[in-house]
């Protein structure tokens, strides 16, 4: 481990996951605030709140997993999945604490959170040189 050259400012896994969880929770709060403001001003109907929640959960999970993976800078798949798992546990804890444990839509929430995390995996794990063109070698014949 002493022979390796340091190539960036990677943080430890717990610190990266903490950053990702903080971003996920902040994204959820901001999404809820935006939806509440849109309902208050009349730009969104009350019956559309479910769609706002779906988008908020998906984007919050995606942003949190992306931040965690970029902070840790290694083991992208595991970092994104752990970030989504932590975010899901935080959402379950908030439900138990503030809503009396009413877990009606926990399956949909799980799908959205892990879908956002897997979307981050797919976008972060793509090859770095996709946009480069290959030179075509001409044969001697």
pTM: 0.78
The CA distance from 58 to 41, in Å, is 24
CA angle (122 as vertex; 132, 21 as ends), nearest 5: 125
Comparing 10-19, 49-58, 72-81, the range with the smallest average pLDDT is 10-19
Select the more confidently predicted residue: 1 or 68: 68
At 113 the pLDDT is: 94
Instruction: Tell me the mean pLDDT in the region 36-53.
Output: 88
The CA distance from 100 to 94, in Å, is 9
Residue 17 makes CB contacts below 8 A (sequence gap 6+) with 68, 72, 79, 82, 83, 86
- Residue 75's nearest CA partner among 83, 64, 86 is 83
Model confidence at 131: pLDDT above 70:
no
- Residue 21's nearest CA partner among 84, 94, 71 is 84
CA angle (42 as vertex; 36, 46 as ends), nearest 5: 60
The CA distance from 117 to 27, in Å, is 14
Binning pLDDT at 50, 70 and 90, where does residue 130 land?
Answer: low
Is the C-alpha dihedral spanning 123, 129, 135, 137 positive or negative?
A: negative
At 102 the pLDDT is: 79
């Amino acid at each position: 481990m002493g022979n390796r050259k340091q190539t960036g400012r990677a943080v430890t896994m717990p610190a990266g996951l903490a950053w990702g969880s903080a971003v996920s929770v902040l994204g959820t709060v901001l999404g809820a605030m935006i939806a509440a403001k849109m309902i208050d001003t009349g730009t969104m109907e009350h019956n559309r709140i479910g769609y706002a929640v779906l988008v908020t959960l998906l984007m919050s999970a995606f942003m949190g997993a992306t931040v965690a993976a970029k902070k840790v800078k290694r083991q992208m798949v595991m970092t994104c999945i752990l970030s989504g798992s932590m975010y899901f546990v935080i959402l379950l804890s908030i439900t138990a604490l503030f809503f009396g444990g009413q877990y009606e839509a926990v399956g949909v929430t799980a799908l959205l959170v892990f879908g956002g995390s897997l979307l981050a995996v797919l976008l972060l794990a793509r090859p770095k040189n996709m946009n480069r063109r290959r030179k075509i070698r001409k044969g001697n014949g």
